[in-house]
Amino acid sequence: MGGEPRPDRAGRPDGPRAGRDGRGGGAPPSDGRESDRAAVRRVLLPSPRSFCAGVERAIEIVERLLEQHGPPVYVRNQIVHNAHVVAGLEAKGAVFVSELDEVPEHALVVFSAHGVAPAVEAEAARRGLDAVDATCPLVAKVHAEAKRAADAGDTVILIGHDGHEEVAGTLGVAPGRTVLVETVEGVAEVRVADREKVTYLSQTTLSVSEVEEIAAALRARFPNIRGQGAEDICYATSNRQAAVAAVVDEADLVLVVGSANSSNSNRLVELAAAAGVEAHLIEDAAAIDPAWLDAAGTVAVTAGASAPPVLVDEVVAAIAAAGPIEVVERRVADEPQEFLLPQRLRTHDAPAPSGRTRPPR
């Protein structure tokens, strides 16, 4: 539980659809007569990319509340970390706030996909707010693990990035018993009451390698520590990282669609850069510097889990505007996961908002 024209979630989640020969975007197969036409640039689309089930659920919660109750629907913090998503929901009547004291008493408020501390839930109840929780179920799972460990008397060590909303929520589950570690070096600074009673957890949107490196340092310092390695990282984060890793060696340039505050999007850029490939985080197609494409015969285009699929389509179209392209889809995993809406918003066999059906990811 770490992208944004207004988000059309009916767009294809995997960008331009490849043909039977694995190509899309309108470029014919090469016949060797490159001197007779401009060189064809290859665009790799690693998949999965773009929206995950937790993001779709959170957006759908706000949309359904707006349909049922009308505006305003208040949302504490960005529902997901994507400027296009936020702007689209604002246009429909959502009001985003940083703290609950900005919400009128007894008003309708949604907690974002990144989760909140129990103290925030208690404040909402005290002020008589009609609160709807859009926390990603995988973030809620980490909260439950933190509570269980703290209740058992363990010190909980949270691997994460200070200031991220998900981290703030998890730290708030057991504030007297939870310690944040951001780096391997920070492991040496950790102080615990009992070295035999320690559990570690992770922010769900970190890179797999980052968590495994810090977890190894924790195990070396606390041999009896309990934890599950990188298993707290959500499937969508790890799948998108694996998809980029599968194509990065073929790419001259990697473009990651996502907002600057999207943790999982930033991890994708870091992964590509660590492989020695030029990589950029872009909000949308307008952010592409044409100079990036000059020496890029192969461009990989992906998107963080909070970025709308239509933005990938627009990036591919912008690359095509610079010359002929061959689009190649590279899928490393399927994502059949769907998360139930809160009970109050469920209707039997209800379609997605505005009659949209959810395409396969």
Instruction: Give catalytic residues, as residue numbers.
Output: 166
Contact between residue 79 and residue 113 where contact means Cβ atoms under 8 Å apart: yes
Contact between residue 279 and residue 88 where contact means Cβ atoms under 8 Å apart: no
The C-alpha angle 138, 72, 354, rounded to 5 degrees, equals: 65
How far apart (Å, rounded) are the C-alpha atoms in residues 154 and 96? 36
Residue 280 annotated as lining a ligand binding site: no
Q: Which residues contact 319 (CB under 8 A, 6 or more apart)?
A: 41, 43, 288, 293, 299, 301, 325
How far apart (Å, rounded) are the C-alpha atoms in residues 282 and 308? 13
The C-alpha angle 317, 323, 326, rounded to 5 degrees, equals: 70
Residue 77 annotated as lining a ligand binding site: no
- The crossing angle, in degrees rounded to 10, of helices 235-247 and 263-274 is 30
Residue 302 annotated as lining a ligand binding site: no
DSSP, residue by residue, 101-118: GGSPTT-EEEE-TT---H
Q: How far is CA 232 from CA 55, 97, 180, in A?
A: 17, 28, 15
Contact between residue 275 and residue 249 where contact means Cβ atoms under 8 Å apart: yes
Residue 209 annotated as lining a ligand binding site: no
Residue 35 annotated as lining a ligand binding site: no
Instruction: Kindly state the tokens that stand for 124.
Output: 């909402």
Residue 143 annotated as lining a ligand binding site: no
Residue 224 annotated as lining a ligand binding site: no
- Phi then psi dihedrals of residue 318, to 5 deg: -65, -40
Instruction: Kindly state the tokens that stand for 176.
Output: 């007297």
How far apart (Å, rounded) are the C-alpha atoms in residues 152 and 64? 39
Residue 306 annotated as lining a ligand binding site: yes
Residue 263 annotated as lining a ligand binding site: yes
Strand pairing class (23-24; 325-331) = antiparallel
Radius of gyration of the chain (CA): 22
Q: Which residues contact 324 (CB under 8 A, 6 or more apart)?
A: 26, 27, 37, 38, 39, 40, 41
Which residues belong to the annotated binding site?
52, 81, 114, 136, 164, 204, 234, 262-264, 306
Which residues belong to the annotated binding site for [4Fe-4S] cluster?
52, 136, 234
Which residues belong to the annotated binding site for dimethylallyl diphosphate?
81, 114, 164, 262-264, 306
Which residues belong to the annotated binding site for isopentenyl diphosphate?
81, 114, 164, 262-264, 306
